Structure formats: structure tokens, C-alpha cells
Chains A and B, each alone.
Chain A
Amino acid sequence: GDSVTQMEGPVTLSEEAFLTINCTYTATGYPSLFWYVQYPGEGLQLLLKATKADDKGSNKGFEATYRKETTSFHLEKGSVQVSDSAVYFCALSDQGRGSTLGRLYFGRGTQLTVWP
């Protein structure tokens, strides 16, 4: 079945460091891919998305490229800030096959802490 595997945390970085959080997926067909962010005490917010191979999603300095050949969607940011401290979730959509109607499959989340 469809699934997402993301890099286990926690990840601790100094401000202005480069960030990579790895995400790989297993899916039949051509899923859409997402990164969500969860700040302390809040629900999940959509950070970025990509709907087809070679698409690059970007938002707030974060980027991720949909790589079908490596089934990956790694999250990157060139210079992290303290305010980026949060939990990051990679997810894929099964594109609404059959009765599942576009449910999302989530990775387990990666806790990022950025120190000043």
C-alpha cells in the first residue's frame, strides 16, 4: 500500500544552517506530495506541495522537488531561523482511487529545533 518514510529526528541546528529532511514514498500511480508543518500547540499547516514529477514546491524559503526516479520529496531550506522550530510531516495523496477519495498518508514527523 501507499506509505511515506521520513527521516527520524530530532534535528537540531544553529540559526542560518542548511536544512534537509529526507522523505521517500511508496505509491502506485502518480500521487501528489506535501509537506506540512506543526508549530507547538497548533494543528498542521500546509507548507508546500507538488502534484507531478519534477515539480518544485516552495514557500517561506523551503523547497522540495518531486523526484519520481528516486521516489523522494526531500525538504530543504538554505538558512533556518529560530522561528522554523516545529514538527515537519511529509505526506502523499492516493489521488482519490476507488472509495478512498484522496486520503493523505503521513510520515511520522521530524522535530526540528533551531538554536540562536
Chain B
Amino acid sequence: DVKVTQSSRYLVKRTGEKVFLECVQDMDHENMFWYRQDPGLGLRLIYFSYDVKMKEKGDIPEGYSVSREKKERFSLILESASTNQTSMYLCASNPGGRTYEQYFGPGTRLTVT
């Protein structure tokens, strides 16, 4: 089974802090994705990566950056956390090629106070 893990299930940070959310997948998948999930808005794509050191902006990249130094790990960085970044963050991966379904981690619920 594909396993996608996220470093924390719950995280509380203060406004202005730099926040790192880590995601690791164990199936040698090419593509990795970061979403945020908010009530009534569904899932919105923040960034994705299709190779090591490669990244593309999704629909809401402002206030975020990402890093992919190794194939299995994809990090989401909040450079200066703000209260409007309080949300559930979901990481996903997919093998690439002609396989389009994504496999999700359990999510990190981030609260910025």
C-alpha cells in the first residue's frame, strides 16, 4: 500500500513564525502536491512538484513556498505565518505517467494565533 505521512497531525504557531510542514511518501512517486482544505471551499492546490528540485505554483501559492530536495520528501513552508493560514493542510502523491489518482496523507491541522 502507498503510504504518505505528514510530520504533525496538529500544530499551533504564532503569527510571524516560519512554519515547516513535512510530507514523505514511500512509493517512489514522481509527483507530489500540497493542498489546503477549508470548510465550504473544498481543496485548493497550493504547490506541486513533478521532480526533485522542480515545483509549480497551484491556485493559491501566495504566502507559501516549497522544497523538494529528495524524491520522497516535499516540504511546505509558511515564511511568516498569518491567522488566515489557519487551515487543514493535505499532502498527496501520485506515480506519474498515465496514472492520475493521488494518494493522500492524514493531514496537518495548523492553527496560527
Contacts and interface: CB of A to CB of B under 8 A. Distances in A.
A34 B58 CA distance: 20
A41 B10 CA distance: 11
Contacts of A102: 31, 94, 96, 99-100
Nearest to A32: B100
B74 interface: no
B106 interface: yes
B97 to A, nearest CB: 9
Interface in B40-91: 40-43, 45, 48, 50, 56, 58, 90
Contact of A96 (B92, B100, B102): B100
Nearest to A45: B104
Interface residues of B, number: 26
Given A43-B90, A44-B90, A109-B42, A101 B104 contact: no
Interface string B5-44: 0000000000000000000000000010100000011110
Interface in A68-116: 89, 93, 95-96, 99-104, 106-109
Interface of B: 4, 31, 33, 40-43, 45, 48, 50, 56, 58, 90, 92, 94, 96, 98-107
Given A43-B4, A46-B103, 19 more contacts: A32-B101, A41-B106, A43-B90, A43-B105, A49-B101, A89-B42, A89-B43, A96-B98, A96-B100, A100-B56, A101-B50, A101-B56, A102-B94, A103-B45, A103-B48, A103-B58, A106-B42, A106-B43, A108-B42
Interface of A: 32, 34, 36, 41-46, 49, 89, 93, 95-96, 99-104, 106-109
